[in-house]
Structure 1
Amino acid sequence: MEVNNEFGGETGQSDLTLVVENHKILVSKSVLCIASPVFRAMLEGDYQEKTMSEIPLPGKIYEDFVEFLKCIYPDKLKKVTETNSYQLIPLAHEYQVKKIEKRCEKVFIQTVRKKHTIDVTELYRHIQLSETFALEDSKEVCIYLASENKLAQFLTAQEKYKISDASHNMIIKLALRRRELDSEDDKHLSLNTDRQAASVSSGFSFGTYPTEIACVFSAPTDYHSYTDDKVKFTLTGYIRENNSEAKGILRALRLSVRYTITERNIRSKLIQKLRDIKPEADAAEDFREEYSLLPEAIKLAVQNN
């Protein structure tokens, strides 16, 4: 067998040998016990491993286990990255190394937000991973991201990566709720396709009442094709929520995303206003639900001051 001395063997500080595949890894019991409650129970509790100088670990992959040790050894403390997080999460979960589990979960969330927002199959893969290793934050982010996509994609993804019925049904429920909100939002819009309408300017203002908000969107530089003619259009929506300023801003933000409003100042003003809002107690639950259904990009912008 090949011997790996990088975890204390060369300095004589190792007092235990782990056998993984066709390799012997010389390690320190004290390091393992400090890092992992599972190793601590194994090596200090009433188990046969307590008196063994060599412990086989069947079913483990040598390269993955070495990577895991590099992340828990104090003289190495290798960083958890997108590259190694998928190797580490099964071992971190099995040996209850919570810090590495949390780091892996954080990397998974960053990865799906950066690369997989419209790839439902990848989102289902990460939901499956999250369910396997009880990563609730990662699962929630992936469920909400998946619900932003088309319903037809969910069945294709479910065929490849089986997730729980509860998660699958939640994605469908959220997707349907998003479409209900879209339908309600559209009632607040009028679409003008004549050339004169293209000259209407963008705006953001509040009405005469403290809880009334009126938002005007326009996209004079966009083009849509009608038969053989191309015309500029202006999209104008007045959002008035007489009982809830917060819901009016949420509606305006959803519309600004769906209709790809190019004027950044409108969305930035809405986001800033949303940061400052504290909904009334009787409206708080509805606000939280609608806020949770905002596109992930908007929620991140609100959180990142």
Structure 2
Amino acid sequence: MNMNDEFHKDGKLADATFVVENHKILVSKAVLSVASPVFCAMFEGDFREKTESEIPLPGKNYEDFVEFLRCIYPDKMKVITARNVYMILPLAHEYSVERMMKRCQDVLMRTVRKNYKENVEELYRHIHFSEMYSLEELKEKCIYLASEHTLKQFKTAKEMYQITDASHGKIIELALRRHELNKADEKVFTAKTKLQFYSEEPVQCDLNGKLITNGRRASDVCQALRIIERFKFTTNTSNNIESSLLEKLQILLDKEEDMEEFDLLPESVKAALQNRS
């Protein structure tokens, strides 16, 4: 059996030994008890682990468990990345390491935004993770991203990754709402509207030809941004239009108006807004 003394090389502070697969891992009960209420209960409660010097952990993967410990120990505090997050997340959840769970969710949010927003199967996989490990923010983000895609894609993804009926139903509901907004946008997007967008001072009038005022609703700005994104304006003034609308939307969102339509904006528009912050 192999001995891992990575966490206490001199062995002086080690007062417990985990046995994982064919390895012994020297650890400090105090360090683990501070990080995890589950470890704390294991070492201080009325459990056999309290008095045992060697504690077997059947069913655990050695490499995953060592990586998990590296992210706990203060002298290591290894960074959680897109590479190791899937190793660590199940253990962080099992041992109720709340700060680590938050770090895992932050990494997964960035990973999904960067790599998987166009991949419905991966979005369903991450919804599945979020439901298993109670990552509500990640679940909501993936549900909104998935709703930008098609019914056929939903069905294929659901066959691969089991998510709750509630989450799948929410995706369908949001997809239908996006369809309603698209139909409304098509009615607004007339030849006259195009001329307004291409005019010398396009942001001085809204999509119906009315002057912009401080009271303009966030839903109007969201509609303009959806139309710009959907119909891909590429004139010299298009960037100025979008920039002005994003600036206006930032002001209106501070008042928490029309949050539903903001949530349903294309991810590319929300990313552009976030980059301005």
Q: TM > 0.5 between the two?
A: yes
Structure-1 separation of matches of 2:101 and 2:190: 49
Alignment of 1:66-215 (within 5 A): 66-191=66-191, 200-201=198-199, 203-206=201-204, 213-215=205-207
Unaligned runs of 5+ in 1: 207-212, 216-236
Structure-2 separation of matches of 1:150 and 1:203: 37
Tell me by how many angstroms 1:48 deviates: 1.4
Kept in 2, the 8 Å contact 1:246–1:279? The answer is no
Tell me by how many angstroms 1:158 deviates: 0.2
Aligned residue-pair number: 269
The one of 244, 253, 263 equivalent to 1:292 is 263
Partner of 1:265: 240
Bigger-Rg structure (1/2): 1
Kept in 2, the 8 Å contact 1:130–1:139? The answer is yes
Kept in 2, the 8 Å contact 1:239–1:248? The answer is no
What secondary structure does 2:206 align onto?
strand
Letter in 1 for 2:249: L
Letter in 1 for 2:269: I
Letter in 1 for 2:134: A
Structure-1 separation of matches of 2:202 and 2:142: 33
Partner of 1:228: none
Tell me by how many angstroms 1:96 deviates: 0.6
Query: Normalized against structure 1, the TM-score is what?
Result: 0.82
Structure-2 separation of matches of 1:126 and 1:104: 12
Partner of 1:301: 272
Tell me by how many angstroms 1:202 deviates: 6.0
What secondary structure does 1:148 align onto?
coil
What secondary structure does 1:108 align onto?
helix
Tell me by how many angstroms 1:10 deviates: 2.9
Structure-2 separation of matches of 1:84 and 1:52: 30
Tell me by how many angstroms 1:238 deviates: 5.1
In angstroms, what is the RMSD of aligned CA positions?
2.3
Query: Normalized against structure 2, the TM-score is what?
Result: 0.90
What do the CA deviations read for 1:259-291 (whole angstroms, capped 9, x no partner)?
11232111111000101116989xx4xx11111
Q: Which has the higher strand share?
A: 1
What secondary structure does 1:73 align onto?
coil
Q: Which has the higher helix share?
A: 2
Structure-2 separation of matches of 1:191 and 1:294: 23
Tell me by how many angstroms 1:13 deviates: 1.7
In the superposition, relative to structure 1, how do residues 203 and 186 fare at CA in structure 2: closer, same or farther (>3 Å)? farther
Identity %: 52
Tell me by how many angstroms 1:239 deviates: 7.6
Structure-2 separation of matches of 1:187 and 1:240: 20
Structure-2 separation of matches of 1:252 and 1:76: 49
What secondary structure does 2:26 align onto?
strand
